[in-house]
Amino acid sequence: MVLAAGLGLRMRPLTETTAKPLLMLQDRSLLDRALDRLEQAGIGQAVVNAHWHADQVAEAVARRETPRIALQREEELLETGGGVTRALPLLGPGPFAVLNGDSVILDGPSPTLARMAASFDPAAMDGLLLVVRTAQVDGEVGRGDFHLDPLGRIRRPRELELAPYIFSGVQILAPSLFDGAPAGRFSLNRLYDRAIEAGRLYALVHDGIWFHLSTPEDLERAEASLASGLVKALF
């Protein structure tokens, strides 16, 4: 699934007339980059949700032949948790990938989604999040998102504690994560917290590049990095 329904408020004014996942990075939309990654991983069917400028998102996915895409329009914004919960009947009985529509990652030595799939253990995990070292992020990361134990289990930072990892917006989730999930609008963070308490939320540290795209300045930095050729030379 690709999450493409957000309002992109921090990306204004670019998102006043355009859905954030349809912003361009080197002549390719962020949404197409996410769908390209699913296609390259051999995923043949995907769900894309849409709310802000939903007609634009619908037109964009209609232009693709692969993967096959089910568009899920949200008349009322459901946030990440509500959007994925609504899509569960379309996502199959097993673990599935969820990508933020504005998340741009470049692979390290091996394809990222394949590496995540190989690391996902349904017996031990309800979710596997791809995280990035905050020290490697060019942009604002706040206090960070997570700490990891030696096995990759996640915990939240305590009060006044800085966290060394930030969530990339790429994850593999099991349907079991959504057992007893609330109806309507809610954040996936509610389910993460429950899985953390049960010791069933894990993370994998990204070994490639991730572009943090929250503001127009972030997008400009990413464009400049790709244009420089250094990123292509390294990855």
Task: Please state which architecture CATH assigns to domain 2-234.
Answer: Alpha-Beta Complex (3.90)
pLDDT for position 227: 87
Judged against a pLDDT cut of 90, whether residue 232 lies above it is answered with: no
pLDDT for position 212: 83
pLDDT for position 226: 87
pLDDT for position 234: 56
| Residues with Cβ within 8 Å of residue 153, at least 6 apart in sequence | 199, 201, 202
Q: How confident is the model at residue 176 (pLDDT cuts 50, 70, 90)?
A: very high
- Mean pLDDT score, 11-36: 94
- Mean pLDDT score, 201-229: 90
Facing residues of 127 across strands? 173, 201
* pLDDT tens by residue, 133-157: 988 887 677 788 999 999 999 999 9
Judged against a pLDDT cut of 70, whether residue 230 lies above it is answered with: no
pLDDT for position 137: 81
